[in-house]
Structures are given as C-alpha cells and as structure tokens.
C-alpha cells in the first residue's frame, strides 16, 4: 500500500494506567501489522493522565500529554477517544462530551456501560458515532464480537461465564489448598489479584456489570444492571467445595443469563458445575464464557480477563473497527446492542423467586430414624426431585451428621419454601446451605 493511500485515525487516550499503558504499547509495537490489516495508521495524538511524570514514562513523549481530560475530548484533532479511567461519574461526563463533539468512543469501562449504556448509546446514535466496548467484558476474550457478530445467525438461549478473575483465583486456591475464603483473600491481595477493598469483585458486582452487558447484546434488550441478582463468594465454606468435589462438581462464581418464555434470568452467584465441563476446569485468574446458540449449540471462549496487554488487545481491536467503519453510514455498522435500535425489546428480568435451577443443599441433622424421610417428604411435597444424596458419618462424640442433597431443576420459590420447612424440623440444626447448580450441557 502506498504511503499516500494510508488514512490516519487520530486517537486521544484518557488514562495511562495499566490498560492505557498496555494500549499505548500494543499500538506502537504492532503499528505496521495493524495498518496492514486496516489500511489505516492509528496514531495517539494526545493522552491525559493525572500523573504526568508516570504518563511520560509510558509514552516517552511529553508533547502529547496533558493532565486535563477535557482537553482531549474537546481537541478538534482527535477522531476517537479511548476512555480508560474507570468509574462512572467523571468518565460518563467525558464520554458524553466526546460524543457531543462527534468523536467515536472506545471504552473498557464495564460499570459505565452497564449503568449508563442506554443513555450513552442514545447519545451516540443521535451524533452518528461509534461506541465500542469489547474490553469491558472478559478483558482480552473477544466475547462482544462473538455475541454480536460471530453468533449473529443464532437465537441465543443462554450465556454463562466465569467473568471475574479475582474470584476465580480465590476459588481455585480454596479448592487446591483446602483453605477458607478468609485465608485466601489476603494472599489474593498480596499477589495483586484482589484490591485493598475487594468488594466489587468478591461480592459479584464486577461480574454483574459484565453479565448485564452480555445479556443486553445476547437478547437485544436495554442494560438492566439494577435488576441483576448478585451474590458473591464471601460466605462460601471450604466444606461445600470439598463435598461438591466428592460429588463430581466444582464451585465457580458464574454470571448466568437465560432467555425463558416468561422473561430473562440475570444472576451472579456461586454455582456447582459438573467437573467434566471445560468451564469447570478454568482455573486461577482466567476467564471463560459459554454461549448457547440454537444453531451452533454450546460454544466456549477462554482467555485472560484482565491485565495490561490482554485488555489492550480488545481496546486496539475496537480502534481497528473504528478505523474501518468511521466513514461508513450507521446502517453499515454493527448496532450497539447487536440488534437494530428500533428492535431492542424491553424484556422483563425474572425475580429470583421465578428463576429455575438445580440445587446443592447441605443440612446438619440428628443421626436418628425418620429425619431423612421428613426431609425428602418436604422436597417431594413441593415437586422437587432428588438427583443424589450423600450422608457423612458424624465425627466421634458427635450426634449430628452432614447430609448433602443434589436436586433436579425446580423453581427457586419452591426451593425457598422447602428450605424454610426443613430448617423448622426439630432434628435439623442451623441453616441449610444452598448453592445453585447448572449443567451447562444443553
């Protein structure tokens, strides 16, 4: 390609932290390969960061740096703004300003898209600009591309993913080393997997952001983060990981979204997954997403869900899409939510009571005749069918035994009623432990 034929895409980056630095590095290292692919030279013309000396150590070029992010979104020389500062207050203001200024936007910000995506896409449509967010979900895994384009022929039935590396690292350590959550969280923080305040990760909020985005583009509906059910891993006990293992299951924090005839399930919680499933064997900080399409069946996407260059891989791929499509009409671009804007449907999110799941139950019961019969009657009376059962011998000098029950799929409302009734039995002590279970096979 002659130099004179090469178009230029001028990029402004907001935030030169881990992902910003990785983006700058990948853009530079692979510049000629990227231009060979797109026919466009993608040049960073300005970058904003609060810490200018750090920013200079990343770019080695003080001339393009500013500590004023608004200078970038208002810079007439910038075609596309890459938002990598995170949060959803300042970043929202900056993204909306960039859009108002007719600049395309690439963002890695899952919270921003999950909470304010509907407003951002409406503004982007009105201004005829692209908003791309591949890096917001599962870091380097091109899951947005897969859902929006690669699987476009399918009616997508469900998506289930390990979409938080921190919690997957913690669960892997708990299983491998037989440790409790409290023993592992400190190590995760020391190794830099978990933040000083790990709430967003360990309580499932980060996963719910990513799940919300996948759900919206899988089913063609608005972002509904506020209605996502979110349960983290902080209350998980080592003994349940062990018992699950004995029964052939692994415990994973899954984000699950399913389309049913009544509505959409949108839930993040610890889940038993059969150990024979590939996704059950995704360990450490890695991410994986299973997508079930009606034509293709279940498909699996695996890779690094975080980190400088894995996330940059997604950011730069989005920049390449912008480079290819910036001159195209909006009709030629892939719609923000994968479906034509006037075809986006306001599907209802099912309350947890109406969700369908199989269950792992652990109860502590007096080891005497009739207890199991009472428990199975409570389940049977509510139409809950038992799949497997395991009773652990009481320890010496103990009169209570752990009973573990796996059930077939039922409606959560029935299970809640059954658990209340089981806990009321005189022979049962304490609370019943309940973990949802998914086959992920069909």
* Beta bridge partners of residue 363, listed in sequence order: 403
Q: Which is nearer to ligand HSE, 206 or 402 (CB)?
A: 206
Give min distance, CB of 210 to ligand HSE, in A: 7
Residues 112-171 that bind ligand HSE (CB under 6 A): 164-166
Determine which helix (DSSP H) or strand (DSSP E) holds 358, and give its type and residue range: strand 356-366
* Pick 18 or 416: Cβ nearer ligand HSE: 18
- Binding flag, residue 305, ligand HSE (CB under 6 A): yes
Given the residues 103, 110, 145, 210, the one annotated as active site: 210
User: Sign (positive/negative) of CA torsion 292, 296, 300, 304?
Assistant: negative
Strand order in 131-132's β-sheet? 65-66, 40-48, 7-14, 80-83, 104-107, 131-132
Residue 110 is among the residues annotated as catalytic for this protein: no
Please tell me the total number of residues recorded for the chain in this structure. 442
Q: Nearest 5°: phi and psi at 29? A: -65, -40
Q: Binding residue for ligand HSE (CB under 6 A) from 134, 206, 318, 438?
A: 206
How many residues sit close enough to ligand HSE to count as binding (CB under 6 A)? 7
Q: Token pair 């293709």 is at which residue?
A: 296
Tell me the closest approach of the beta carbon of residue 129 to ligand HSE, in angstroms. Answer: 25
* Apex 110 CA angle, 84 and 71, nearest 5: 30
Instruction: Choose among 442, 373, 380, 385: nearest CA to 409.
Output: 385
Cα separation, 441 vs 439, in Å, equals 5
Q: Cβ of residue 111: shortest distance to ligand HSE, in angstroms?
A: 9
Element (H, E) at 144: helix 143-145
Work out which of 95, 141, 306, 358 binds ligand HSE, going by CB under 6 A: 306
Taking the least distance from each CB to ligand HSE, the nearer of 290 and 372 is: 290
- Nearer to ligand HSE (CB atom), residue 164 or residue 215: 164
402 neighbors 363 (Cβ within 8 angstroms): yes
C-alpha 309/C-alpha 19 separation (Å) is 7
Which C-beta is closer to ligand HSE: that of 110 or that of 292?
A: 110
For ligand HSE, the binding residues in 210-239 under the rule CB under 6 A are none
- C-alpha span between 42 and 397 (Å, rounded): 72
In the complex with ligand HSE, the residue whose CB is nearer, 20 or 165, is 165
Which one, 134 or 206, has the nearer CB to ligand HSE?
206
| Shortest CB 142 distance to ligand HSE, Å | 15
Nearest distance from C-beta of residue 206 to ligand HSE, angstroms? 5
Q: Among residue numbers 22 through 41, which ones bind ligand HSE (CB under 6 A)? A: none
Least separation in angstroms between residue 165's CB and ligand HSE is 3
Q: Least distance to ligand HSE from the beta carbon of 166, Å?
A: 3
Dig out the tokens for 5 from the structure. 């034929």
Minimum CB separation from ligand HSE for residue 205, in Å? 10
Alpha carbon 217 to chain centroid, angstroms: 13
Asked if 402 touches ligand HSE (CB under 6 A), the answer is no
CB proximity list for 89: less than 8 A, separation 6 or greater: none
Q: Which residues of 37-69 are buried (b: 16+ CB within 10 A; e: fewer)?
A: ebebbbebbbbbbeeeeebbebbeeeebbbeeb
Rounded CA-CA distance 265/207 in Å is: 15
- Our CB check for ligand HSE shows the closer of 127 and 283 to be 283
Distances (CA, A) of 367 to 370, 392, 418, 425, 429: 9, 10, 20, 13, 12
CB neighbour class for 3 (10 Å; exposed up to 12, middle 13-18, buried from 19) = exposed
83 is a contact residue toward ligand HSE (CB under 6 A): no
Q: Is 201 in the site for ligand HSE (CB under 6 A)?
A: yes
Catalytic residues: 210
Rule CB under 6 A: which residues touch ligand HSE? 164-166, 201, 206, 305-306
């Amino acid at each position: 390609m002659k130099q004179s034929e090469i178009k230029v895409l001028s990029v402004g980056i907001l935030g030169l932290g881990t992902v910003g630095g990785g983006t700058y590095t990948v853009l530079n290292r692979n510049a000629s390969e990227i231009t060979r692919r797109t026919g466009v030279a993608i040049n960073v013309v300005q970058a904003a960061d609060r810490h200018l000396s750090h920013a200079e150590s990343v770019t080695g070029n003080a001339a393009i740096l500013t500590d004023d992010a608004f200078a970038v979104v208002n810079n007439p020389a910038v075609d596309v703004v890459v938002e990598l500062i995170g949060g959803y207050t300042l970043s929202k203001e900056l993204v909306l300003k960039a859009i108002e200024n007719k600049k395309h936007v690439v963002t890695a910000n899952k919270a921003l898209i999950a909470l304010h995506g509907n407003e951002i896409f409406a503004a982007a449509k009105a201004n005829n600009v692209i908003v791309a967010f591949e890096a917001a979900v599962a870091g380097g895994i091109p899951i947005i591309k897969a859902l929006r384009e690669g699987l476009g022929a399918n009616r997508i039935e469900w998506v289930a993913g390990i979409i938080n590396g921190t919690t997957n690292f913690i669960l892997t350590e708990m299983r491998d080393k037989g440790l409790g959550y409290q023993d592992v969280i400190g190590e995760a923080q020391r190794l830099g997997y978990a933040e000083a305040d790990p709430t967003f990760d360990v309580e499932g909020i980060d996963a719910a952001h990513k799940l919300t985005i996948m759900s919206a583009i899988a089913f063609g509906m608005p972002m509904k983060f506020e209605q996502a059910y979110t349960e983290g891993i902080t209350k998980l006990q080592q003994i349940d990981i062990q018992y699950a293992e004995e029964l052939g299951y692994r415990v994973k924090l899954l984000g699950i979204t399913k389309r049913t005839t009544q509505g959409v399930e949108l839930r993040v919680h610890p889940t038993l997954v059969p150990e024979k499933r590939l996704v059950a064997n995704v360990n450490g900080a890695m991410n994986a997403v299973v997508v079930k399409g009606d034509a293709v069946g279940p498909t699996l996407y695996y890779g690094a869900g975080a980190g400088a260059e894995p996330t940059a891989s997604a950011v730069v791929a989005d920049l390449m899409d912008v480079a290819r499509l910036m001159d195209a009409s909006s009709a030629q671009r892939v719609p923000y939510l994968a479906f034509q804007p006037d075809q986006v449907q306001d599907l209802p999110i099912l309350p947890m009571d109406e969700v369908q799941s199989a269950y792992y139950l652990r109860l502590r019961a007096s080891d005497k005749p009739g207890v199991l019969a009472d428990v199975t009657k409570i389940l049977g009376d509510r139409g809950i069918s038992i799949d497997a059962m395991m009773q652990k011998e009481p320890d010496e000098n103990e009169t209570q035994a752990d009973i573990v029950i796996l059930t077939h799929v039922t409606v959560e409302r029935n299970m809640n009623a059954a658990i209340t009734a089981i806990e009321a039995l005189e022979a049962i002590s304490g609370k019943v432990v309940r973990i949802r279970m998914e086959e992920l096979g069909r």
